Structure 1
Amino acid sequence: MTWRTVQRFADAAAPEELFTGQWQNRPSVLDEYKTYLDERWNEGCTNAWKLWEEIAPLGYQGRYQRVRAYIRKKRTSPRPVTARPPSPRDVAGWILRRPESLTESEQIQLKNARAHCPELDALTRHVRSFATMLTERQGQHLPDWLDAVRQDDLLSLHTLAKGIDRDRDAVTAGLTLPWSSDVVEGHVNRIKMLKRQMFGRAGFDLLRKRVLLAG
């Protein structure tokens, strides 16, 4: 036992402070549903069996004992026990995906995150409204979207808005018209690939022949 370990044991004010290290914060199949359990606990439902029956239809496939242990910890711990906050990558994924594709547990976690962070709530609204413009070809709403973005203190979106303003007509057309440059971009990428394969040692004539034969 090292001196640091001895000192940590001596300085601990409660037994819970000793439970740190590699076994702490390990992923659990219950993690995704702890936000739901916390909400139900705050509503007054403290029956572990009932809570287990509620999260099973939501997709939880773990054992009842895990739910019971989590509820027991909430009941007996001198400190509030709550779910760990989701990672930035998870939250970004929930915002960028279609709302209807999120599981009920993911919807609850995103709702909880938005409730605790006004900036995140505003970002979610702007991202989803832009996605609606993009998928439903509603380019006429772009000026209103830009005005709404500028009303919130979101520096990254302000930078995006400035970039859109520099070529607003083209962006509006891209959000409105049914045509796209996908085919052209595909051909450009194919030509770049052929050029890289020759390691810059071939001239234009050979590159032209390869492009025509590959087509």
Structure 2
Amino acid sequence: MRLLRPLLPGFLLVASATCSLGQTAPVSPAAAATVPAEPAAAPDKLLLKVGVNAGRAFRWGSYEGWISRVPVSAAAEYALSSKFTVYTQLDADISLRRRVSYYGERSNLLASGAVGVGGRYYYNQAGRARNNRAHGPFIGNYLAVEAHTEVRRLYNQTAEFGPSINLLWGMQRRINRSLLFDLNAGIGLGANRSDAVLGTPGSTTITTQLNASLYFGR
């Protein structure tokens, strides 16, 4: 016991320090400094896209013949909300091989094309999100109303215009960040272009639409 007496004050000092450390309250997470989270980026409201519209192959009638062409397409779509958009689309059928008429006239490099303006309603967005299916800005299935005009000028003739109003059902999907496809089909009413050739008064006819486009879009 006499040997332990000189060491006793040291033991008491160590024990006191240990108790003090054990009674120190831990720092709460709320008291710690926090880094403010960055605000989420707002979705883009404008989609610009350019590509090819293979569906225009079905509009090339026997009057023009099946000439090798590249159906170039460009479009712009603007989101009014998460479901409603407005858009405009321009199509141009560029000839790779030009025909020569009986009178020696060569067909035009740009013999036909179209312009369309309309609005889209992307339906069932919430349901697609719940089922983990493709959805979001400019993505999903849609219904559309479009004012459409076909333009055709084969040789050195007066251009023919075929305006129409069409109801469309379609789908638009992204393949990756920069590549997407847009497929739609529909029916409507429009002017009969054959009347312009025959020189008779214009009449109304049933019109159809089919677009199958592959785009680069951002």
- Normalising by structure 2, we get a TM-score of 0.19
Which structure dedicates a bigger proportion of its chain to strand? 2
Larger fraction in helix: 1
Higher relative contact order (CA 8 A, sep 6+): 2
TM-score by length of 1: 0.19
